[in-house]
Structure 1
Amino acid sequence: MSQSIDEELAIPFRELTPNVDDRVISETGQEAFAPADDSRQWESKRKRACVLAGSAILQFPIWGFAMSFGVFQEYFTSNWELGGSRSATGIIGTTQNGVMYLSMPFLFALFTKRWARYRQSAALAGCTLTCLSFLLSSYSTEAWHLVATQGVCAALGCALIYSPITLSLGEWFNSSNRAVAYGLVFSCKNVVGSACPFLLRVLLDKYGFRTTLRIWTAIIVGTSFPAVFLIPTHPSSISSGIQRPRKIPWDFLRHKTIYIYCVAIMLQSSGYGIPQTYLNTYAHDISKLSQTSATLLLTLFNLPGIVSSSAFGYLSDNKRFPLSATTVTAIPAINSALSAFLLWGLTSRDSMALSVLFSLTFGFFSGGYSATWGGILNEMEMEAAQRNEAIDNGMLYGLLNGARGIGYVTGGLAGVPLLQIGAARPLGKFAYGSPYGPLVIFTGLSSFFGGWGLLWKLGSNLF
């Protein structure tokens, strides 16, 4: 009995006491433990680098298909091989994004504390589900098969990958540069969104959609499983899993700040998914651009996000010129709206230059919007500290993603009837007079109100 107690006490004692061999004699003759500290710091930096690398690689299987679905949408307009309504495919991309984001609050709640030690297992299960879903979708014979396999099942698999690895990313960078770390990972997401449209376009033209989906499945297998093993679980999560898990603090739900930001994110996201889905078909059907030029627009749409995600992440974490989270979120929202109204809305037939300008500007500002969430987390942390309340960043980040999911689903469901309304109007000179006119207006309005937090803040200060 005494021996077992001694063994239990010896474990923390060894953790707290440096090894004698690690001691060095300083110039003053006093003992120091610098080598041990340096070793721990180097190990921590190495693990953070692995977390960043693994998170960056996983953006490919998680977002590659969802951010490039416009290529499939354009392909189906001229190569329809399935039963059912062709217009139903318009909701696949937005449904996939929506289901992913809607499931995240629940997954973040599970893996924040209670099931933290199962994060890697959950991510591997998500990789398996994603691979099986895309493989099964290659055998689809009806439109609803694609909605079920790609829009729902593959989305759930991707969410199972995304939630654990994002929680680990936030924990490894919880003390400094969190917004910058999020921004770097989101930049990799936009690298994926820039490269995948051309990759999928080439595969579709050469092999058709069934073989393309099987190749995509093989790509997911080759990237997702190794990347998951790169990401270590944070020690605090392992220890909390062994001990009795702490309850998630919900005090922030009693304050209106979280609702202001959630509504803003829902509105912005409902419009953000529209160009991702319909820009390809608009460029091909209305602007009469070639398939290559239409695919280029989707690539240019995602490409600026590589820079803007890092830029807005840095802006949210800037210590020299600090800006409030409401101000930072308003910058991409308002500029996205202006881009939709003044550039997309005024494009005409054979207007390649204006279409390119819209893709670049809207992609830059809307693609960097989610990188401002690190600033939102920082602001809510400060509010909680002022009220002496506990707050769980992982759960909070999951709720923000859930708000984005509601926006994606709303935008996807609204897109089909808006396109039908526009089709009943005569074709005009600009995009406003085309069948896509209502989509342009919807995109601009929803983007603008994505920054309404600033208006709310100004209004509260005035009144």
Structure 2
Amino acid sequence: MSQTESISLRDHESLPSRISERELNNTNEDPSSLEQADSRQVESNRTRACVLVGNGILQLPIWGFAMSYGVFQEYYSSNWTLQGSQSTTGIIGTTSNGVMYLSMPFLFALFTKRWARWRQTAALCGAVLACLSFLLSSFSTQVWHLVATQGVMSAFGCALIYSPTTLSLGEWFNTSNRALAYGVIFSCKNIVGSTCPFLFRGLINQYGFRMALRIFTAIVAGTSVLGVFLVPAHPSSVSPNSHRSRKVPWNFLKHQTFYIYSVAIILQSAGYGIPQTYLNTYAHDITFLSQTSATLLLTLFNIPGIASSSFFGWLSDNKHFRLSTSTVTSISAISSALSTFLLWGLTSPGSMALLVLFSITFGFFAGGYSATWGGVINELEKEARDSNEAIDAGMVYGMLNGARGIGYVSGGLAGVPLLKAGMGVELGRFGYGTTYGPLIVFTGLSTIFGGWGLLWRLKWRKLLHLV
């Protein structure tokens, strides 16, 4: 990409803010222009509010099942009626998350500009696919049916809802408070994760898992259609000029920063998905908690993320108390690892107190990790400005989601053999000595490396310069 083309691309990206400045200058001369500018500003703020609300609603159909899969995992472990290996169900939850995140780089690239006008249509198609998948899964007779429908098909449908609508969110908040907007949406995601476990538990207890999936299919249909129509594409992405002049800039792939944070996200995500899948069964099998208490743990796991997502988003965007992005990600990662080693690992059979404390602390610090991505994007944008390069924040965000998908899939694939490795081994009375001991160690180690970007900034980069 030539320097002239790069500059023109960046000028096009900053066009809305320049128009606003011109409007403000003109309003000093013409009262009617002032009224028109105010009207446009009110309309813009109203649209932003709708986009934020729409994305918040969409967190239910997108993440409701994936974040509550532990309820189904616990149900399958005690009510197995399908054909096939029961242990295979352990990969469904992480596969669902993995497929969603892995498909996002491709979907974000597809809908960034060239197909931007089809975003709402694509999101509606994703809703149809998700509904069809959940409905088909309710008729499953073999375990691979669940893997195909719940782990793959529904996940891709949810990704097809998420990608175009999240792209529009980033564009409507591209000039300010982007990290905070992402944080608010992640908070809505954690609200979904806090309420849906009890929703699924109630439906399963009342109607069985098959009817529960059919009822959830209807919920997905209603909320997804409402949310999609509240999220229009930004005018800059659907204008004719954008299709002729703009291409997705890939210059960010030349920067070390992108790879540092991508590796950190992969490692953190590999451990983050483990408690979501196995915490319910651990509480039931090891600490002998009732189904209701085990479901409560999964809710406590997600509730703190409501506050932490907004908090870490604010921390990444804060102009008065500045912290580097690597510092913010390290706060999340190190604290998550400590809660795993000191709380989950030291849980005694029959004791609920430490497990509750683990759910709250791990849920707070690990649940807010994704909200730091707004800071990562800001850092990459600064590097792009310094190098006089164009950058598309939506595409970068999609790539970071892809890294998370690799982590989820890796953690899910590692979880099954780790659980088998712990079977029949008793090394003590704490969580480390149970069947879940290897999973606990894996979770702690992988999450702590989610903050390795700080180590790179402080030490390794200096050593490389010396060499």
SS of equivalent to 1:80: coil
- Which deviations, in whole Å up to 9, do the C-alpha atoms of 1:370-403 show, x marking residues without a partner? 0000000000000110011111111111100000
Aligned counterpart, 2:291: 291
**Aligned equivalents of 1:249, 1:30: Cα separation in 2:** 40
Say if 1:344 and 1:358, in contact at 8 Å, map to a contact too. Answer: yes
Shift of 1:428: 2.8
**Aligned equivalents of 1:30, 1:242: Cα separation in 2:** 31
Aligned counterpart, 1:310: 310
The answer to whether structure 1 residue 43 and structure 2 residue 37 are counterparts is no
Aligned counterpart, 1:452: 452
**Aligned equivalents of 2:296, 2:245: Cα separation in 1:** 49
Shift of 1:71: 0.3
**Structure 1 runs of 4+ off > 2 angstroms?**
28-32, 240-243, 460-463
Aligned counterpart, 2:120: 120
Say if 2:113 and 2:243, in contact at 8 Å, map to a contact too. Answer: no
Say if 2:113 and 2:242, in contact at 8 Å, map to a contact too. Answer: no
Say if 1:113 and 1:241, in contact at 8 Å, map to a contact too. Answer: no
Shift of 1:233: 1.0
Shift of 1:42: 0.4
**Aligned equivalents of 2:364, 2:29: Cα separation in 1:** 57
Letter of the 1:208 partner, please give it.
Answer: G
Shift of 1:256: 1.1
Aligned counterpart, 1:344: 344
Letter of the 2:136 partner, please give it.
Answer: L
Give the paired residue count.
441
Shift of 1:94: 0.2
Say if 1:117 and 1:241, in contact at 8 Å, map to a contact too. Answer: no
Measured at CA, do residues 356 and 238 of structure 1 come closer, stay the same or move farther in structure 2, by a change above 3 Å? same
Letter of the 1:150 partner, please give it.
Answer: Q
TM-score with structure 2 length normalisation? Answer: 0.92
Measured at CA, do residues 168 and 424 of structure 1 come closer, stay the same or move farther in structure 2, by a change above 3 Å? same
Aligned counterpart, 2:109: 109
Aligned counterpart, 1:266: 266
SS of equivalent to 1:33: helix
SS of equivalent to 1:411: helix
- Which deviations, in whole Å up to 9, do the C-alpha atoms of 1:48-71 show, x marking residues without a partner? 000000000000000010000000
**Aligned equivalents of 1:58, 1:83: Cα separation in 2:** 34
Letter of the 1:400 partner, please give it.
Answer: L
**Aligned equivalents of 2:201, 2:80: Cα separation in 1:** 16
RMSD: 1.8
List runs of 5+ in structure 1 lacking aligned partners: 1-16, 18-24
Shift of 1:322: 1.2
**Aligned equivalents of 1:194, 1:179: Cα separation in 2:** 22
The answer to whether structure 1 residue 195 and structure 2 residue 195 are counterparts is yes
The answer to whether structure 1 residue 377 and structure 2 residue 344 are counterparts is no
Shift of 1:460: 3.7
Say if 1:113 and 1:245, in contact at 8 Å, map to a contact too. Answer: no
| Identity across the alignment (%) | 71
SS of equivalent to 1:304: helix
After the TM superposition, which residues 16-415 of structure 1 pair with which residues of structure 2 at under 5 Å, given as runs? 31-240=31-240, 243-244=243-244, 246-415=246-415
- Which deviations, in whole Å up to 9, do the C-alpha atoms of 1:105-139 show, x marking residues without a partner? 00000000110110000000000000000000000
- Which deviations, in whole Å up to 9, do the C-alpha atoms of 1:163-193 show, x marking residues without a partner? 0010000000000000000000000000000
**Aligned equivalents of 1:144, 1:446: Cα separation in 2:** 28
Letter of the 1:75 partner, please give it.
Answer: Y
Letter of the 2:327 partner, please give it.
Answer: T
**Aligned equivalents of 2:29, 2:185: Cα separation in 1:** 46
TM-score with structure 1 length normalisation? Answer: 0.93
**Aligned equivalents of 2:271, 2:106: Cα separation in 1:** 24
Letter of the 1:169 partner, please give it.
Answer: L
List runs of 5+ in structure 2 lacking aligned partners: 1-18, 20-25
**Aligned equivalents of 2:104, 2:397: Cα separation in 1:** 9
